[in-house]
């Protein structure tokens, strides 16, 4: 029964005493036991901890207390979110077995809201790549077709929701790592405005780009989870102090009179015809619902991929310097400290992580800093300006989320550039810091899910969710 309910319905039933958190949890744990051997959404399942939390929630309900807006709702966490007492590996050998002594802020907020944390999900190592094949613990498979990738880097979280293992999950999005797997797995995935959600306890990849956000089966559930995790956090210096809007209350307002722009630069070369067709259908659905839909331009977005793959690796080379065999996880013994660090990092990091560390270190090196990293930051400024100009004309923008539907496992692993191109539509909003959401919108010619992306200006989550809800209703 519970697996057919939305997260909001499930929590409401638990809070009203219509069913127990414990009984609904067992349904989800049963689904994980039955099917995750094939999908591999999870690195670890924390069934005993979840059962203990469920029992406490049922006791609170019996005593007349409100356990919170996510009472009894199972939630999966990407394995780069620190979780007290549970290994947090980033799907890397260098962190295998490391157990954080604290919770990330988003994890604390989930616990306070009554959520049941059922496990840590697989990802591309340190969130680097777009297929969840670059994990030290093996690939995750797309529940719609297990010969295909689920997208990445948050592929385990997306697959957990798509497979019905959990109603909700959290991921992180540095260049599209929530939205792209959401599109490929046919679920809703949202990247908030940079600073809306605390990054405290997120193992950093690229600190000026990383954001934590929700996966859900519906726009309403994504809005509910966003409201729980968002808000000011004194432990994160980049946290925005403004109060979080009640976006759930905006979902039924429709799009009458809203100005919607379809981004031309994100609809051209490299976008599969069947994906482009779904975006056109989505724009027509918004027009039929009363929105004013026109072509839009964000000229500098065509340089987003190039700028990102200098800025993000540069920040990664700095952030990942802390994994040296001394402070965390793996340590490979050697005759001296320098050799120990080299041996630890050589054995502990996978090929893609090494590739990005070397690229970032090169871009930051003396003699190349201005030519590469400095120039990329100037391009980032142009992208921010071009988005601002577009939002002077439009309330939201529309584009594909991913250029194609889910591709076969192994199809792009030998060609890093082909893999990087999967993020061409999502990267620009990471560079600008603006929010964006992927909404499932039909299927491609191969019968696999297609995602349509709604982009909004900074702190524009309310209007973004309104448009997303209208799109969802037009295909349901």
Provide the annotated active-site residues.
78, 153, 177
C-beta of residue 458 within 8 angstroms of C-beta of residue 433: yes
Cα→Cα distances 136→15, 44, 64, 169, 290, Å: 40, 14, 46, 21, 49
C-beta of residue 176 within 8 angstroms of C-beta of residue 151: no
Strands ordered across the beta sheet of 436-443: 42-45, 116-121, 74-78, 168-173, 211-216, 188-191, 436-443, 449-455, 396-400, 259-263, 292-296
C-beta of residue 302 within 8 angstroms of C-beta of residue 269: no
Cβ neighbours of residue 367 closer than 8 Å, sequence gap 6 or more: none
Cα dihedral 114/182/25/6 (nearest 10):
70
Closest alpha carbon to 406 in 150, 175, 216: 150
C-beta of residue 45 within 8 angstroms of C-beta of residue 79: no
DSSP assignments along 256-309, one per residue:
TT-EEEEEGGGSSTT--HHHHHHHHHHHHHHHHTT-EEEEE--GGGGGHHHHHH
Cβ neighbours of residue 44 closer than 8 Å, sequence gap 6 or more: 79, 86, 87, 119, 120
C-beta of residue 78 within 8 angstroms of C-beta of residue 172: yes
Nearest-5° Cα angle at 334, 333 to 338: 115
Classified as helix, coil or strand, 45 is: strand
């Amino acid at each position: 029964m519970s697996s057919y309910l939305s997260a909001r319905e499930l929590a409401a039933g638990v809070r009203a005493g219509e069913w127990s958190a414990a009984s609904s949890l067992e349904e989800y744990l049963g689904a994980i036991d039955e099917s995750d051997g094939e999908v591999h959404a999870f690195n670890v399942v924390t069934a005993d901890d979840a059962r203990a939390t469920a029992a406490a929630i049922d006791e609170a309900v019996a005593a007349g207390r409100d356990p919170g807006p996510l009472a009894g709702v199972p939630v999966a966490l990407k394995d780069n979110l620190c979780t007290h007492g549970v290994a947090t590996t980033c799907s890397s050998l260098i962190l295998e077995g490391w157990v954080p002594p604290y919770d990330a802020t988003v994890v604390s907020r989930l616990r306070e809201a009554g959520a049941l944390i059922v496990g840590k999900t697989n990802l591309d190592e340190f969130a680097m790549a777009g297929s969840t094949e670059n994990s030290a613990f093996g690939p995750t498979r797309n529940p719609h077709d297990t010969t295909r990738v689920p997208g990445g880097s948050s592929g385990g979280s997306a697959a957990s929701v798509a497979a019905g293992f959990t109603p909700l999950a959290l991921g992180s999005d540095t260049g599209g790592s929530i939205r792209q797997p959401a599109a490929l797995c046919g679920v809703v995935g949202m990247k908030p405005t940079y600073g809306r959600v605390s990054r405290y306890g997120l193992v950093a990849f690229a600190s000026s780009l990383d954001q934590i956000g929700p996966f859900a089966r519906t726009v309403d559930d994504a809005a509910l989870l966003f409201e729980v995790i968002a808000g000011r956090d004194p432990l994160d210096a980049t946290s925005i102090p403004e109060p979080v809007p009640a976006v759930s209350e905006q979902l039924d307002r429709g799009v009458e009179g809203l100005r919607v722009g379809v981004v031309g630069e994100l609809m051209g070369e490299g976008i599969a015809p069947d994906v482009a067709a779904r975006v056109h259908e989505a724009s027509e659905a918004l027009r039929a619902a009363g929105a004013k839909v026109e072509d839009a331009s964000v000229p500098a977005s065509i340089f987003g991929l190039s700028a990102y793959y200098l800025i993000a690796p540069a920040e990664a080379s700095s952030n990942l310097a802390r994994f040296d065999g001394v402070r965390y996880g793996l340590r490979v013994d050697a005759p001296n400290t320098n050799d120990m660090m080299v041996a630890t990092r050589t054995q502990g990091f996978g090929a893609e992580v090494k590739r990005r560390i070397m690229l970032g270190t090169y871009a930051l090196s003396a003699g190349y800093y201005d030519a590469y990293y400095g120039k990329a930051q100037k391009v980032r400024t142009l992208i921010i300006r071009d988005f601002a100009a577009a939002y002077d004309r439009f309330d939201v923008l529309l584009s594909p989320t991913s250029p194609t539907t889910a591709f076969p496992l192994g199809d792009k692993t030998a060609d890093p550039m082909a893999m990087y191109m999967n993020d061409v539509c999502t990267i620009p909003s990471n560079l600008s810091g603006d929010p964006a959401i992927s909404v499932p919108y039909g299927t491609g010619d191969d019968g696999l899910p297609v995602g349509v992306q709604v982009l909004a200006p900074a702190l524009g989550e309310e209007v973004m969710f309104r448009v997303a809800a209208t799109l969802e209703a037009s295909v349901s």
